[in-house]
Chains A and B, each alone.
Chain A
Amino acid sequence: MGKDNNSKIARAHATRTVFSYLRRYRKRLVIGGLCLVVTDMLLLINPWLLKLTIDALKTGITRNRLLFFALFFVVVTIVSGVFRFLMRRIMIGVSRRIEFDIRGDFFSHLETLNPYFYNRHHTGDLMALATNDLNAVRALVGPGVMYSLNTVVVGSLAIFLMLYLSVKLTIVSLLPMVLLTVAVYHSVKVIHGLFESVQKRFGELNSRAQENLSGIRVVKAYAREQSELNTFRITSLTYVQENMKLFKVQSLLHPLLATVAGLGALFILWLGGREVIDGRLTLGSFVAFNGYLAMMIWPMIALGWVMNVTQRGLASMERINAVMDEKPEIRDASPEQIKRLPPPRRGHTISFENVSFSYDHPSDRKLVLKNVSFTIGEGETVAIIGPTGSGKTTLVSLILRLIEPTEGRILVGGIPIQQVPIEDLRRIMGVVPQDIFLFSDTIRENMSFGAPELSEKELREISRGASIEDEVEAFPEKYDSWIGERGINLSGGQKQRVAIARALAKNPDILILDDALSSVDTDTEERILVSLRSLMKERTSILISHRISTVRIADRILVLDDGELVEAGTHDELVKKRGLYANIYRKQLIMSELEGG
């Protein structure tokens, strides 16, 4: 019961949303609707003209009058054509406009949501909302609205005229028309259901093939090609069979519509014909009646279709609403609690006070960080080292407030970061994330991502700072070079340096490099570190790496292991300690020896 109620509320909410978008274009819709009414009224004149012509031919007519009828026929069609054009342009145009609005609202809402949300929703699902579901809503507010209005107008006008010609004939010939609507409504519904199960089978076929192709090594290693082929054959056949179930119904639709419409014509021929023979109906009226009935066919078919479009459109609107109603979990504090950061001197201090963190997996409440405390002073450069999975990147996400600590608190410039406006907090930070994400755009656009007003001179300066200037200058289009999809045209090391430049461009008070030099060779690393050093002096910096060669330049090194802070000190101090750091150091010495050949 409760569930039923919920779905009713959701449906009502969806309906309200659809109407609120329609209301924005009230004026245009009214004009479009008027054009529709005029078009339909004009179109109804023509069968009447035919009636007049034919009846006149029977009783005697002058050639001039005949010519007048013929010309009038064309003029009426031309005028109605103009209005029909306007109707389509306005009403379908509005639906595209609404599509534009919803897509924009959807994107700007997504921009407010946090990693928590994105952990719960796959990109693919969100894309489906912005494509399939949006299309369904569009079909509702466009053709859906237009055709239902059309059905009402044509229907009532034509029925009125038909009644005038013959009450009995009207009733008899309209029966099949109602059948038409019912038939379309139900078959479209059944077809949609069957179509979904076809889609499901298609999904199976897809994943079968995908799995085979991804696991092709195993398939080949065990010479399983033949049995794979057999399995694929079965999946493929099932898909074909499901499709044939669909076609059994779908192939019925068109013949059914043609036949039902034909039934209407048959009734008119039989019953109308009798009235003509009896002299109660003129031949002209008989022809006109046929004309009006023909005009009714499409609106009645459309009506059945519109009923489905409405249901699907509302269901899609519900799904979109579900995302639009999500509130961001990480928000600015209330206005009275908000505190501004003090102006920076040489960067800001950063303090972790007993911070613990666990991702909120119900099955796995493993602590990724355990009671971590440290302070980084203004202008200090601190390196963090530790094995994979020791919690280094989580630490960065916490400072950026992408996630919130489970316990403890974090302070920047002496203020708990929850109280700092998120925009301010992120403005002072220059981050090079571990997972380099560049946008499919030019180098310039990517470098100035956080500082859009960057001048040409500044652009060159930060490139020099990131040791990528020479390489960019060597590209044919220099800073306007297209980096390809996610930076596919760049090497791993180049991508990392573009990301460093992107962080430097913000002229941040706090610079955070999360494993930012892993893809460059040791010589380049050396070069970058030298040029970064002068930049790091003026601000607070955090260097995260698993390479000793990177972290040794820091003022202080923190060693993380399994979420715990296990060692801290300068490089020399830590080497003497013979702990985890010393072990990593020793191994890396061997590695570089092995790499050397």
Chain B
Amino acid sequence: MRYSEADEVQGKAYDSALMRRILTYLTPYKKLVGISIALLLLVSAFQLAPPYLVKLAIDNYLDPDSPLTMGARYGGLFKIAGVFVIVLMLGFAASYAQDYLMSFVGQRVMFDLRMQIFSHLQRMELSYFDKNPVGRLMTRLTSDVEVLNETFTSGVVAIFLDVFTLLGIMAVLCYLNLRLALITFLLLPLLFASALVFRAKVRKSYRLVRKRVAAINAFLQENITGMPIVQIFNRQKRQFEKFTGLNKKLYDAHIQSIMAYAVFFPTIEILSSIAIALILWFGGSGVIEETLTFGALVAFIQYAQRFYRPISDLSEKYNILQSAMASSERIFGLLDTSPRITDPEKPAPIPAKSGEVVFENVSFSYNPGEEVLHDVSFRVAPGEKVAIVGYTGAGKTTIINLLSRFYDVGKGRILIDGEDIRNHALSDLRGHVATVLQDVFLFSGDIAYNIDLGEESISEQKVREISRHINAEKFIERLPGGYHEKVGERGKTLSVGERQLLSFARALVYEPRILVLDEATSSVDTETEHLIQDAMKKFMAGRTSIVIAHRLSTIRYVDRIIVLHHGRIVEEGTHKDLLSRGGLYSKLYELQYKDQEKGIY
């Protein structure tokens, strides 16, 4: 079964250059990380203390052959118990503080990284979003960042704990009895080896499980979506068989991974029992020969039982680091793609008045070799209202895309008041040219937010004024919450006409000099239609306006009509002129506008 593997976490090899770049994100939190590592030292020391305390108690006070008086023995035991209590308390505090601190650092790093990705995306040009689907970008922003977080909290730093603990145990054992310690260490290579083998096995079976889970989920999702087809074609039985096949494969993969675990745990236990047997044999002989104390023997046994934890943990950390490699590579890949449409170094100021738009021999293609605009030139005088009409694929929308610099022209140039638009700062340009798109995109938030789009310099007073001006206030005030009514998911609560009025208001609050408008094609009821037409006129009054017209009333109202066909300007003139000419425009009129005259849609 094949399935989409595009975003699958691959088993990247460890890459130290990449790791160094990941670690730079810790730099702002150097101090906290330092404290955290220091705390880890304490934590492992406190973890190692109890067996040693028990040893001291046994050798000095519990041994029946102790030369001390009963009172002294009680007193000694009491002291040791006291130290034990302190160790427990401090251990608790240190390990809680360390864990919390590191989680905090991890969260901050995630926050930094997420903000960096998000703000980088805000700077990318539209064609980047054409090539990268939202889902993929979301993965960078969410799961890839989470994987990196895991690297910090349970990876990089936790490795220190394992290493400290391991070294600590070895040091204590050597201190207690060098010979016995060396004998015990004989088992270490075996422990390491089996942890390594286990790690490799688990990783392999984990990947297999992941792959098969993805396959069965893809199948399930597809079949749920395509259930009508399955049923129309009476395919239920066969699809179930296929599903069962995938299900069985997944089951087998699970069993494989169970085997890995089921073998690993007993193996570790057997190895540590051999270590204890060695300690019993050599240590016991030592006790008989009086070269080893009782307490030391007991402590040895307890320490030996603690060996395997850090060893198997270490091998698991290695896995975490590996998947971090894959995620970080993808994140850095995104961050390293620089935006192609950017501000010029010394932006030219936008003139306060006027508003002349000139297209000068503009050609453009989205994909190389497929030109959608060929050598288009036209001028729109300040305050003039121009409609652009054309059949599907004529290049109308491209004109909008170029004027607001969503894309940059291929050849030629676009001038506003005599200045090439590429010489202006993007934010200035887009504040000067208001673009109203056909598909009105609403953000979740209230009505007022969807008009001022969170711009704080715009007063609510003004939002209301403008809404009233373009006939939107009536429907807004009918909503239970008025201007503060929450807009549901993608504005489902509003009708098409209402959304359009809202988008007019949105454009107008910025008081642009130039209006670029892609009229909506969808039909609305007559009353709303009337409101929209009226609003359109108010909207365009006194502004340079370029409209991709779909409404009869609009093409009749504008000063001039530009007819675009296959990326070229073929006719130009007023509605009457063009109609009498009997050219392409008259055909378009028949096709797209004439029915509106009779009110038929």
Interface status of A21 (Cβ within 8 A of chain B): no
Assembly CA distance A294 to B236 (angstroms): 54
Contact with B along A425-446 (1 / 0, CB 8 A): 0110101010001011000000
A-B contact count (CB 8 A): 350
A177-185, A279-287, A335-343, A528-536: which lies at the interface: A279-287
Cβ of B277 and Cβ of A74 under 8 Å apart?
Answer: yes
Tell me if B411 counts as interface (CB < 8 A to partner A): no
Distance A219 CA – B506 CA, assembled complex (angstroms): 12
Chain B residues within an 8 Å CB radius of A210: 134, 138
Binds A, one of B13-21, B166-174, B256-264: B256-264
Q: Which of A114, A131, A240, A429 contacts B111 (CB 8 A)?
A: A240
Does A236 sit within 8 A of B, measured CB to CB?
A: yes
Tell me whether B176 is interfacial, beta carbon within 8 Å: no
- Quick check: is A225 within 8 A (CB to CB) of the other chain? yes
Q: Knowing A78-B270, A107-B220, A219-B122 touch, does A262 contact B232 (C-beta < 8 A)?
A: no
Question: Residue A66 contacts which of B53, B62, B285, B294 (CB distance < 8 angstroms)?
Answer: B285
Interface string of B451-464 (1 = CB under 8 A from A): 00111000000000
B224, A110: Cβ atoms under 8 Å? yes
Q: A84-B265, A96-B254, A96-B258 are in contact. Are A274 and B77 (CB under 8 A)?
A: yes
| A131, A222, A250 pick with most chain B CB within 10 angstroms | A222
> Which of B96-104, B308-316, B321-329, B537-545 forms contacts with chain A?
B96-104
Q: In the complex, what residues of A have CB within 8 A of residue B587's CB?
A: 590, 593-594
Which residues of A are found within 8 Å of B95, using beta-carbon distances? Answer: 254-255, 258
B232 in complex: contacting residue of A82, A290, A294, A431, CB < 8 Å:
A431
Contact sample, A vs B, 29 pairs, CB 8 Å cutoff: A66-B280, A69-B284, A71-B277, A74-B277, A76-B273, A81-B267, A84-B262, A88-B258, A100-B247, A111-B240, A115-B228, A123-B225, A205-B142, A206-B138, A213-B137, A218-B453, A220-B406, A221-B435, A222-B453, A229-B122, A237-B111, A262-B87, A269-B54, A269-B57, A277-B77, A283-B58, A402-B232, A591-B391, A594-B587
Is A240 a contact of B74 with CB atoms below 8 Å? no
Q: Is B588 touching A273 in the complex (CB atoms < 8 A)?
A: no
State the majority secondary structure of interface residues on A.
helix
Q: Does B234 lie within 8 Å of A269, measured CB to CB?
A: no
Question: How far, in angstroms, from A526 to B63 measured CA to CA in the complex?
Answer: 103
- Which residues from chain B sit less than 8 Å from chain A, CB to CB? 2-4, 47, 50, 53-54, 57-58, 61-64, 70, 73-74, 77-78, 80-81, 84-85, 87-89, 91-93, 95-96, 99-100, 103-104, 107-108, 110-111, 114-115, 118-119, 121-123, 126, 129, 134, 137-138, 141-142, 216-218, 220-236, 238-240, 243-244, 247-248, 250-251, 254-255, 258-259, 261-263, 265-267, 269-270, 273-274, 276-278, 280-281, 284-285, 287-288, 294, 297-298, 301-302, 305, 391, 404, 406, 426-427, 430-431, 434-435, 437, 441, 443-444, 453-455, 506, 510, 565-566, 584, 587-588, 590-591
Contact (A587, B138) CB under 8 Å given A53-B284, A130-B220, A236-B114: no
A residues in contact with B217, CB < 8 Å:
127, 130-131
User: Which A residue's beta carbon lies closest to that of B590?
Assistant: A590
Per-residue contact bits, chain A 231-271, to B (CB 8 Å; 1 contact, 0 not): 11100110010011001101110111011001101100110
Tell me if B270 and A77 are in contact (CB < 8 A): yes
- Which stretch in A56-64, A156-164, A468-476 binds the other chain? A56-64
Instruction: Identify the closest chain B residue to A387 (Cβ).
Output: B601
Whether B288 lies near A61 (C-beta < 8 A) is yes
Given A283-B58, A594-B591, A217-B406 contact (CB < 8 Å): yes
Closest to A107 in B: B243
Query: What residues on A are CB-neighbors of B70 within 8 Å?
Result: 277
- Given A269-B54, A506-B233 in contact, is the A254-B99 Cβ separation under 8 Å? yes
Chain A residues within 8 Å of B243, by CB: 104, 107
Flag whether A223 is at the interface (Cβ < 8 A). Answer: yes
Contact of A57 among B114, B247, B287 (CB under 8 A): B287
Q: Beyond A67-B281, A222-B510, A248-B100, is A269–B115 a contact (Cβ under 8 Å)?
A: no
Contacting residues, chain A, for B298 (C-beta < 8 A): 54, 287
Question: Which A residue's beta carbon lies closest to that of B100?
Answer: A251
Which parts of A442-478 form the interface with B (CB within 8 Å)?
449-450, 452
- A426 close to B231 (CB less than 8 A): yes
The CA-CA distance from A263 to B88 in the complex, in Å, is 8
Q: Mark contacts of A168-202 with chain B using CB atoms, 8 A cut-off: 1 yes-contact digit, 0 otherwise.
A: 00000000000000000000000000000000001
CB distance from B335 to the nearest CB of A (A): 16
List of B residues within 8 angstroms of A99 by Cβ: 251, 254
Q: Is the Cβ of A225 less than 8 Å from the Cβ of B234? A: no
Q: How far is the CA of A57 from the CA of B250 in the complex (A)?
A: 54
Partner of A104, one of B91, B244, B453: B244
Q: A402 near B240 (CB under 8 angstroms)?
A: no
A398 at interface by CB-CB < 8 Å: no
Given contact pairs A108-B240, A244-B104, A247-B107, a sample of 5 additional A-B residue pairs in the complex whose CB atoms are under 8 Å apart: A74-B270, A96-B251, A222-B435, A227-B454, A262-B50
CB of A207 closer than 8 Å to a CB of B: yes
The answer to whether B441 and A214 have CB atoms under 8 Å apart is yes
Q: Is A482 an interface residue (CB 8 A)?
A: yes
User: Nearest chain A CB to B523's CB is how many angstroms away?
Assistant: 11
Which residue of chain B has its CB nearest to the CB of A259? Answer: B92
Contact A111 B239 (CB under 8 A): yes
Does A224 count as interface, using CB distance less than 8 angstroms? yes
Task: Give the residue name and chain of the A residue nearest to B134 (CB).
Answer: A213
Across-interface contacts of B277 in A (CB, < 8 A): 70-71, 73-74
Residue of A nearest to B489 (CB): A207
A482 to B118, CA, bound (A): 36
The interface residues of chain A lying within 8 Å CB-to-CB of B262 are 84-85, 88-89, 92
Q: How far is the CB of A150 from chain B (nearest CB, A)?
A: 13
Q: Does chain B have a CB within 8 A of A28?
A: no
* Residues from chain A with Cβ under 8 Å of B454 in the complex: 224, 227-228, 230-231
A283 pairs with B590, CB closer than 8 A: no
List of A residues within 8 angstroms of B126 by Cβ: 216-217, 220
- State how many angstroms separate the Cβ of B457 from the closest Cβ of chain A: 11
Known interface pairs A222-B506, A431-B232; A70-B280 also in contact (CB < 8 Å): yes
User: Of all chain A residues, which has the CB nearest B406?
Assistant: A220
Give complex CA distance A348, B398 in Å.
51
Residues of B within 8 A of A100 (CB): 247-248, 250-251
Q: Is the beta-carbon distance between B591 and A423 smaller than 8 angstroms?
A: no
Checking A254, A482, A594, A597 against B588 with a beta-carbon cut-off of 8 angstroms, the contacting residue is A594
Sort A-B residue pairs by CB-CB distance and give the 5 closest, nearest first.
Answer: A81-B266, A77-B273, A251-B99, A450-B233, A88-B262
Q: Which residues of A contact B81 (CB under 8 A)?
A: 266, 269-270, 273
- Are the C-beta atoms of A218 and B437 separated by less than 8 Å? yes
Interface centre among A107, A270, A502 (most CB of B within 10 A): A107
B215 CB → nearest A CB, Å:
10
Asked if A552 is an interface residue, CB under 8 A from chain B, the answer is no
Is A50 located at the chain interface by the 8 A CB criterion? yes
Check A213–B443 contact: CB distance below 8 A: no
What are the interface flags for A75-107 relative to B under an 8 Å C-beta threshold, 1 for contact and 0 otherwise?
011101110110011001100110110011001
Q: How far is B119's CA from A536's CA once the two chains are assembled, in angstroms?
A: 59
Contact B84–A240 (Cβ < 8 Å): no
CB within 8 A of A236: which of B111, B244, B588? B111
Task: Kindly provide the distance from the CB of A104 to the nearest chain B CB, expressed in whole angstroms.
Answer: 6
CA distance A244 to B110 in the complex (A): 13
CA distance A450 to B584 in the complex (A): 48
The verdict on A485 contacting chain B, using a C-beta distance below 8 Å, is yes
> Contacts of B255 on A, CB cut-off 8 Å?
93, 96
By beta carbon, the residue of chain A nearest B3 is A440
Q: Is the CB of B229 within 8 A of A433?
A: yes
A255 to B92, Cβ gap below 8 A? yes
For A512, give the chain B residue with the smallest CB separation. Answer: B232
Q: Please give the distance in Å from B87's CB to the nearest CB on chain A.
A: 8
A452 to B123, CA, bound (A): 52
Is the beta-carbon distance between B134 and A214 smaller than 8 angstroms?
yes
Q: Write out the residue numbers on chain A whose beta carbons fall within 8 Å of the beta carbon of B230.
A: 111
A415 at the interface (CB under 8 A from B): no
Chain A, residue nearest B393 (CB): A595
